[in-house]
Amino acid sequence: MQSDTRIGIAVGIVMLLTPWRGGPAAETDDAKVRQSVVKILSTLRQPDPFRPWSKGSPQEATGSGVVLAGRRILTNAHMVNLASQVFIQPDKSSEKLAAAVVARAPGIDLAVLKLDDESFFNAHPALPTNPRLPDLKQTVFTYGFPTGGSEMSITRGIVSRIEYADYYLGTEGLRIQVDAAINPGNSGGPAVADGQLIGLVFSRLHQSDNIGYIIPMEEIDLFLKDIPDGRYDGKPVLDIDTQKLENDTLRARLKLDKKTTGILVRKVHHSDPSYPLRVGDVLTRIGDHVIDNAGMVHIEGDRLIKFQYLVQRQTRDGRLPLVLIRDSRELTLDLPVQPAQPRLFSSTSEKPLSYFILGPLAFTEATDNYIQYVTMMYSGGPRDGQGPSRDGSGLLTIMYQGNPMFTRYGDRPAFPGERIVIVPHPMFTHKISKGYEDPYADAVAAVNGVRIRNLPHLVEVIRDATGEYIEFTFQGRATYTIIFKRKEALDATEEILSDNGIRQQCSPDIALIWNEGKPKK
């Protein structure tokens, strides 16, 4: 959403024209809900993945939030991701109160705020919650502060669908589809049924009429239970790839009779050989729920949903009860489950960017955002008079060369902490770089022959080097290296920083590593 600065989500649903009219009880509930709804005002400074030492211009974002028990305010994570300041504003008030982010989960798009002045909550109580999923066709009201006016807006719709679907950053979860009008600024506002909070507004379907989405209380409760320590670890997941069992020949090859239904395990994202699941297993039940050949299960009577949903619902103390068939034998497992393994490429919305500069070279870790930009740049994106060919051949070339930003896109880390270190910015002009081809957008393979695991490791290798030379090898160009005299590179760094208006050689987290041992000249 544009006013929410939501990346990748378009906005613009026409508001419902029919006003809501209810009786005295409905008016009483409405007044109570209004006391619990606030406007969110954020100043966002998004990092620049191509110049990680700088940030983009401040962007003002407005959205909505709701008061929860425990003197907290719930909103969407995209409203406060990397915000430099956050304020809340009550309904029918010009007062703006400073707020701080307690915890956030960008993947499921939730965040909790606290206020410096908690006296606000004396007159603004928490909205009662209902953990039960709403019924189809149940009436829902959405509250918030969308663009088009300063007053709170209330729209009405019905629940049209409940499904387990993709959110963001590889996260899946339950979502409620409603036909209530959702506009820029509604993000983070409550969805209410019978005076109780049933979920939080977070997006809408682009190029559609009145199809909006709500994060249900079940997902919100999982998030809230995860963050007492101020950190979101993630939901338990069954970290596997599967295949449907609808093909008769495939079923015959697996020796499955007609009564047996389930889903085939095609890949297990665990390197530990003792992990109980194996490729070729057929999952047939989770708890008491039978998995059908399309990977769906029935819950609450006739409600059909992806079997992955049951992982978060059936897991107890990190264990998931399931039944599978292996080599024509039925096995019962109490499977250990945990949050999904991290992705090899993170998003700039997850944390501030780290960087390090040595001489004319800048280094950072590749992100989804950077890869998307490079893809556009090499395959015919907007021409700016600089950079590589824009006819599409450049993208094929760097993929053929083996740039891991492309050959390993979608991968999990091959070992704990693995990240791809890249040169995000064209090489700075300096006499020590004379004659070298620019490694812009290339990935670092090794420094002084040491294979690089991540950015902190690269900094450690450079910091601890003692020889006369320092040598960089780039992935995708096996015979291509850049070699500097180590002392010249160190001496050139301050000059390059000054010439390019860069205040610091590295980000604060990397500075802790770099300064552990002063490099010897």
Does residue 304 sit in the same domain as residue 168? Answer: no
Of the candidates 191, 226, 261, which is a domain's last residue? 226
Residue 105, token pair as written in the block = 């989960």
Please check the confidence at residue 39 and state whether its pLDDT lies above 70: yes
CA 167 remoteness from chain centre: 8
Does residue 359 sit in the same domain as residue 468? Answer: yes
In a domain, 347, yes or no: no
The vertex-73 CA angle with 93 and 184, nearest 5°, equals: 70
Secondary element (H or E) of residue 469: strand 469-475
383-390 long-range contacts, Cβ below 8 Å, gap at least 24? 386/426, 387/440
DSSP 230: S
In a domain, 434, yes or no: yes
Residue 398, token pair as written in the block = 């760097």
What is the percent of the chain where pLDDT is above 90? 66
Binning pLDDT at 50, 70 and 90, where does residue 22 land?
very low
Residue 229, token pair as written in the block = 């320590």
Q: What is the reported pLDDT for 327?
A: 93
Of the candidates 309, 339, 369, which is a domain's last residue? 339
**What's 99's domain CATH number?**
2.40.10.120
Active site residues: 78, 109, 187
Q: What is the reported pLDDT for 86?
A: 96
Query: How far apart, in Å, are the Cα atoms of 404 and each of 241, 269, 344, 347?
Result: 22, 19, 10, 16
Burial of residue 455, with CB atoms counted within 10 A of its CB: 0-12 exposed, 13-18 middle, 19 or more buried: buried
Does residue 120 sit in the same domain as residue 212? Answer: yes
In a domain, 64, yes or no: yes
Please compute the mean of the pLDDT values over residues 51-61 and round it to a whole number.
Answer: 89
Q: How many CB atoms lie within 10 A of CB 76?
A: 29
Does residue 503 sit in the same domain as residue 390? Answer: yes
Instruction: Indicate the number of domains in the chain.
Output: 3
Backbone angles phi, psi at 491, to 5 degrees: -65, -35
Which amino acid would we find at residue 344? L
Please check the confidence at residue 11 and state whether its pLDDT lies above 60: no
Secondary element (H or E) of residue 210: none
Average pLDDT, the chain: 87
Does residue 390 sit in the same domain as residue 509? Answer: yes
Three-state DSSP class for residue 266: strand
Please compute the mean of the pLDDT values over residues 123-133 and round it to a whole number.
Answer: 93
Does residue 250 sit in the same domain as residue 209? Answer: no
How long, in residues, is the chain? 521
Q: What is the reported pLDDT for 480?
A: 83
Does residue 321 sit in the same domain as residue 370? Answer: no
Does residue 198 sit in the same domain as residue 86? Answer: yes
Of the candidates 293, 313, 339, which is a domain's last residue? 339
Please check the confidence at residue 262 and state whether its pLDDT lies above 90: yes
**What's 296's domain CATH number?**
2.30.42.60
Backbone angles phi, psi at 349, to 5 degrees: -80, -10
Which amino acid would we find at residue 305? I
Q: What is the reported pLDDT for 64?
A: 95
The vertex-322 CA angle with 317 and 325, nearest 5°, equals: 150
Residue 377, token pair as written in the block = 């740049």
Please compute the mean of the pLDDT values over residues 300-309 and round it to a whole number.
Answer: 89
Q: What is the reported pLDDT for 475?
A: 84
pTM over 0.75: yes
In a domain, 92, yes or no: yes
Strand partners, 283: 263, 324
Task: List the end-to-end C-alpha distance of the chain, in Å, as a whole number.
Answer: 51
Does residue 29 sit in the same domain as residue 169? Answer: yes
Closest CA to 270 of 240, 234, 233: 240
> Which residue range is the domain that position 276 belongs to?
236-339
Convert the pLDDT of each residue in 155-195 to its tens digit.
999 999 999 999 988 899 999 999 987 888 889 999 999 99
Burial of residue 459, with CB atoms counted within 10 A of its CB: 0-12 exposed, 13-18 middle, 19 or more buried: buried
Residue 388, token pair as written in the block = 């590589």
In a domain, 345, yes or no: no
Please check the confidence at residue 210 and state whether its pLDDT lies above 80: no
Within 13 A of 125's CA, how many CA atoms are on the CB side?
8
Please check the confidence at residue 270 and state whether its pLDDT lies above 90: no
| Dihedral sign, Cα of residue 421, residue 424, residue 428, residue 434 | positive
CA 427 remoteness from chain centre: 30
Closest CA to 110 of 224, 235, 233, 225: 224
Does residue 247 sit in the same domain as residue 326? Answer: yes
Rounded Cα distance between 327 and 260, Å, is 14
Please check the confidence at residue 226 and state whether its pLDDT lies above 50: yes
**What's 457's domain CATH number?**
3.20.190.20
Place of tokens 């530990």: 272
Convert the pLDDT of each residue in 421-472 to its tens digit.
999 999 999 999 999 999 988 999 999 999 999 999 999 999 999 999 999 9
Strand partners, 40: 63, 88
Higher pLDDT, 22 or 315: 315
In a domain, 231, yes or no: no
Does residue 49 sit in the same domain as residue 156? Answer: yes
Rounded Cα distance between 355 and 361, Å, is 11
Q: What is the reported pLDDT for 371?
A: 87
Q: What is the reported pLDDT for 15?
A: 32
Please check the confidence at residue 230 and state whether its pLDDT lies above 90: no
Secondary element (H or E) of residue 79: none
In a domain, 485, yes or no: yes
Query: How far apart, in Å, are the Cα atoms of 225 and each of 217, 233, 317, 371?
Result: 12, 10, 13, 34
8 A C-beta contact, residue 341 and residue 413:
yes
Query: Helix count (H) and strand count (E) of the chain?
Result: 11, 29
In a domain, 350, yes or no: no
Backbone angles phi, psi at 159, to 5 degrees: -75, 120
Convert the pLDDT of each residue in 348-389 to its tens digit.
877 889 999 999 999 999 998 888 887 776 665 444 444 444
Please check the confidence at residue 332 and state whether its pLDDT lies above 90: yes
Does residue 247 sit in the same domain as residue 182? Answer: no
Residue 91, token pair as written in the block = 């309904």
Please check the confidence at residue 392 and state whether its pLDDT lies above 70: no
8 A C-beta contact, residue 345 and residue 371:
yes
